[in-house]
Amino acid sequence: MVDNNPPGRASLTISDLAAATDVSAATLRTWELRHGYPRPSRLPGGHRRYDARDVGVVRDIVRRRDAGQTLASAIAAALASEDRPQESVFAALRRRHPHLTPRRVRKSSMVALSRALEDESCARAESPVLFGGFQQGRFFEQSRARWEELARTARATVVFAGFDEVGGVDGVPTSPGIRYVDLPPDSPLLREWVLVCDSDDQPACAVSWEVPGTAAGRDEDRWFEVLWSVEPRVVRDAARVCAGLLGPGEPADVIGDDPLPAASDDLRRAQGLLERTLGYLDRRDAPVGGP
């Protein structure tokens, strides 16, 4: 079969990758099944092809495993190391899951989507791992009581924001069960809105970035481009990118190692309905022009 991929891009077979990393093809397939990595492209006949950069990532995973990290933590850290130059959860998710359709919505719609996912997934999930990105601390303060309640039943809860304007220890608030991460002034996450609920029974995520040029006006006129999903692999990838931004250790070590379940029929129906609703909002309210 002819491989039409450009040289160096998705041109390695699984045997090539195994030989270059000393990790067996069977192990690479198990990692893909259980952890969503490595994720190959597929030729028309279904044969796997890998990017040359996968060699470095797999070798990094092996080094981290040899140093004592769990496999989930090692994969999260190795992938985050690849993403770290941009530290953008939105960009990482869009690159890894190109089938997801970005939707441009007003802040009010983004608030509604986040609250719905918090109510239906975060609050109902059994011992989830939660990540929230709120841009600025003042935005988190508006949801702080909700997140302190969500953290009570979560295995781990992490909140990213720029907390320079909010009281607390060195400007960072403290709450039982929540790990607060103060973002530096140049962090791309200051432009992103992140909600990830990683769980076996109620996975969900919504990750967005703020459309440039819309933040200068009224708060209600701000626009976001959002990716959202209840697909377990998408949610797990989003969780690993977030965990990888923290470095080795918790909460990456509490992200599940078990094979990922399929999304329930109820979640898929809900996703389809909300996706259609957001599509109508796009056509009705989307600004003309933009990037």
The DSSP bridge partners found for residue 225 are 104, 209
- Contact call for residues 152 and 174 (beta carbons, < 8 A): no
For the chain, how far is it from start to end, CA to CA, in angstroms? 40
- Whether residue 5 is contained in a domain is answered as no
Q: What is the DSSP string of 238-252?
A: HHHHHHHTT-SSTTG
Q: What percent of the chain has pLDDT over 90?
A: 27
| pLDDT at residue 42 in the model | 78
Residues 195-200, mean pLDDT to the nearest whole number: 93
Q: What is the mean pLDDT of residues 234-251?
A: 79
Q: What mean pLDDT value characterizes the chain?
A: 80
Residue type, 223: W
- Asked if 205 and 156 sit in the same domain, the reply is yes
pLDDT in the model for residue 241: 86
Q: What CATH number does the domain containing 20 carry?
A: 1.10.1660.10
| CATH code of the domain containing 127 | 3.30.870
Indicate whether 85 belongs to any domain.
no
pLDDT-derived band at 217 (thresholds 50, 70, 90) equals low
Q: Is residue 78 part of a domain?
A: no
**Residue 185, phi then psi, degrees to nearest 5:** -60, -25
pLDDT band, residue 63 (cuts 50/70/90)? confident
Q: What does the DSSP assignment read for 154-167?
A: -SEEEEEEE-TTS-
The pLDDT assigned to 30 comes to 92
> Is there a domain that residue 260 lies in?
yes
Residues paired with residue 160 on neighbouring β-strands, in sequence order: 133, 181
- pTM (whole model) above 0.75: no
**Taking a C-beta distance cutoff of 8 angstroms, is the pair 224, 208 a contact?**
yes
| Spatial contact of 162 and 182, defined as CB atoms under 8 Å apart | yes
Q: Is it the case that residue 250 has pLDDT exceeding 70?
A: no
Q: Are residues 198 and 55 in the same domain?
A: no
Residues 37, 131: one domain? no
Which band of pLDDT confidence, cut at 50, 70 and 90, is reported for residue 290?
Answer: very low
- CA proximity to 48, closest of 67, 24, 32: 32
Task: Determine the Cα–Cα distance for residues 287 and 285; give it in Å rounded to an integer.
Answer: 6
pLDDT at 147: 96
Is residue 54 included in any domain, yes or no?
yes
Q: What residue numbers bound the domain in which 213 lies?
A: 93-285
* 192/48 same-domain check: no
Question: Do 134 and 216 share a structural domain?
Answer: yes
253-262 average pLDDT score: 66
Domain assignment of residue 8, yes or no: no
Q: Residue 106 and residue 98: Cα distance in Å, rounded?
A: 23
**More confident of the two residues 51 and 208:** 208
> Residues 119-154: pLDDT tens digits?
888 888 989 999 999 999 989 999 999 999 999 999
247 falls within a domain: yes
Query: Is there a single domain that holds both residue 55 and residue 97?
Result: no
Please give the tally of structural domains in the chain: 2
Using a 10 angstrom Cβ sphere, with 0-12 exposed, 13-18 middle and 19 or more buried, the burial of residue 180 is: buried
260 CA to centre of own chain: 15
> Which is it for the CA torsion 268, 270, 273, 277, positive or negative?
negative
What is the pLDDT confidence band of residue 248, given thresholds at 50, 70 and 90? low
The stretch 113-122 carries a mean pLDDT of: 88
Same domain, 106 and 243: yes
- Are residues 26 and 156 part of one domain? no
CA atoms of 243 and 254, how far apart (whole Å): 10
Tell whether 116 and 238 lie within a shared domain.
yes
Positive/negative CA dihedral, 124, 79, 72, 186: negative
